[in-house]
Structure 1
Amino acid sequence: MVDGKRSALILGASGLVGGLCLRRILASACYEQVTAVVRRPLEVESEKLAQRVVNFDRLEQELRDIRADDVFCCLGSTMKKAGSQEAFSRVDYAYPAAAARAMKRNGSSHFLLVSALGASEKSLFFYNRVKGKAERAVLEEDFPFVTIFRPSLLLGERHESRFLEGVGVKAAAWLSPVMQGPLRKYAGLEANKLACRMVREAEQALTSSRSSVLTLESDSLQRSL
């Protein structure tokens, strides 16, 4: 920290949640410096923002000289976009794990990870097993604070077209009013709510009495604001 101000690192800033999260971090009075690790430059300008174009397959080495108090990991893909289970696992598990190893060595105090509803290494579903592995990899680094977010289907305007996901988003929006009680956690979640909660958890972690590890399920994220 510099003069009581915090610094942040964000991975996945070109995505739906990451882009919204970046905007909120840049607008927060708590942060003096923000580093976005990207494959290609973002069309975002701010005196607070430093963009680092990296090779994600060498992420641990690429991050070796970056310092940040809070790490926002919003990386994520789909099987269709990734093209194979191996490629999907690389984006959704290997990259977050590499970031966690590097930033723990660099002295980061809080790692905030976007996971998924149903994440578990014991899941019958490949997607959820990968997300569970990513959670374990982050927890193993023993950061002073870890916050894991497990959203359901995220609602919001994406840059790229995902046909099947788009159908799911429309269905989720239509069904949301009837998804109450035990079904609430399966209701679609506005991506902006998730981004707001991520930044709020980072801002408040040092001043609240929360536990060092906090896992937030989708139904609690619905009540974020």
Structure 2
Amino acid sequence: MKALVLGATGATGKELVSQLLEDPQYDEVSIFVRSASDIKNEKLKTHIVDFDKPEEWQNLVNGDVAFSCMGTTLKNAGSKEAQKKVDFTYQYDFAKAAKKNEVEDYVLVSSYGANADSKIFYSKMKGELENSVKALHFPKITIFQPSLLDRKDSKRFGEVLGGKIIKFANKLGVLESQKPLPTDILAKAMINSSKIKSSGYSKIKLGAIFSFAEKNA
């Protein structure tokens, strides 16, 4: 199979690409990035693109499964407009290209609480992306809604603090359904979803992602 990955340089994306390259069921992994990757592997194909010019790279989005896990923070983006460009526009452009090129399986990382009607900017944006991608009518689409991600060497203060608080609560037997999700577990669940022979729309939430990662697809 041939995998297409958007967001390959992020915490989840790095784990995903690493696992895909080790997976014998995938013989090619194409990543779409702004700059060259330092990963060396004969299965890896790197496309250096300008995400603001989808017309220049949309024809390259050809494969069996498209994985979309791109994202940024409001702090890193600098404004809500800039964050939406990364978290919505770039991902939607990638999805449209995949649909146009008849990619049959689309796997999207969204967020817990995603809701297009939410008054919270981030939740609303993620909900709008879910709805827009779903409306493209891929033969198969799987949307993951993780809660707090446990990223290796994360420098996001709020994320690190929140993770520590929830982990402490987990030890007390509470908030177990919202325990931090390691990015390698999320990546494994995403790959497993691509190996399940099915069609239609699926949404995997919170704790269910852990058990999904354990499936022998």
Q: Distance in 1 between matches of 2:78 and 2:173?
A: 32
Unaligned runs of 5+ in 1: 1-5
Whether the 8 Å CA contact 2:109–2:144 is kept in 1: the answer is yes
Q: Aligned-pair distance for 1:130?
A: 0.4
Q: Name the TM-score, length of structure 2 as normaliser.
A: 0.92
Whether the 8 Å CA contact 1:13–1:19 is kept in 2: the answer is yes
Percent identical: 32
Whether the 8 Å CA contact 2:114–2:127 is kept in 1: the answer is yes
Q: Name the TM-score, length of structure 1 as normaliser.
A: 0.89
Whether the 8 Å CA contact 2:189–2:210 is kept in 1: the answer is no
Secondary structure class of the residue paired with 1:37: strand
Structure 2 residue aligned with 1:3: none
Q: Which one of 41, 46, 53 corresponds to residue 58 of structure 1?
A: 53
Structural RMSD (CA): 1.6
Whichever residue aligns with residue 166 of structure 1, its letter is V
Whichever residue aligns with residue 209 of structure 2, its letter is L
Q: Aligned-pair distance for 1:122?
A: 1.0
Q: Distance in 2 between matches of 1:219 and 1:179?
A: 14
Structure 2 residue aligned with 1:135: 130
Q: Aligned-pair distance for 1:65?
A: 3.1
Aligned residues: 213
Whether the 8 Å CA contact 1:152–1:185 is kept in 2: the answer is no
Whether the 8 Å CA contact 1:100–1:137 is kept in 2: the answer is no
Q: Aligned-pair distance for 1:157?
A: 0.9
Structure 2 residue aligned with 1:221: 209
Q: Distance in 1 between matches of 2:187 and 2:113?
A: 20
Unaligned runs of 5+ in 2: none
Which aligned segments of 4 or more residues in structure 1 are displaced greater than 4 angstroms?
none
Secondary structure class of the residue paired with 2:119: coil
Counterparts of residues 136-175 of structure 1 (less than 5 Å): 136-158=131-153, 161-175=155-169
CA displacement, residues 165-202 of structure 1 (integer Å, 9 cap, x when unaligned)? 2222222332233455xx44322111111100000111
Secondary structure class of the residue paired with 1:76: coil
Q: Distance in 1 between matches of 2:209 and 2:168?
A: 19
CA displacement, residues 23-75 of structure 1 (integer Å, 9 cap, x when unaligned)? 11111111111101011112111111010111111235412233111001010
Whichever residue aligns with residue 39 of structure 2, its letter is V
Does residue 76 in structure 1 map to residue 64 in structure 2? no
Counterparts of residues 115-134 of structure 1 (less than 5 Å): 115-134=110-129
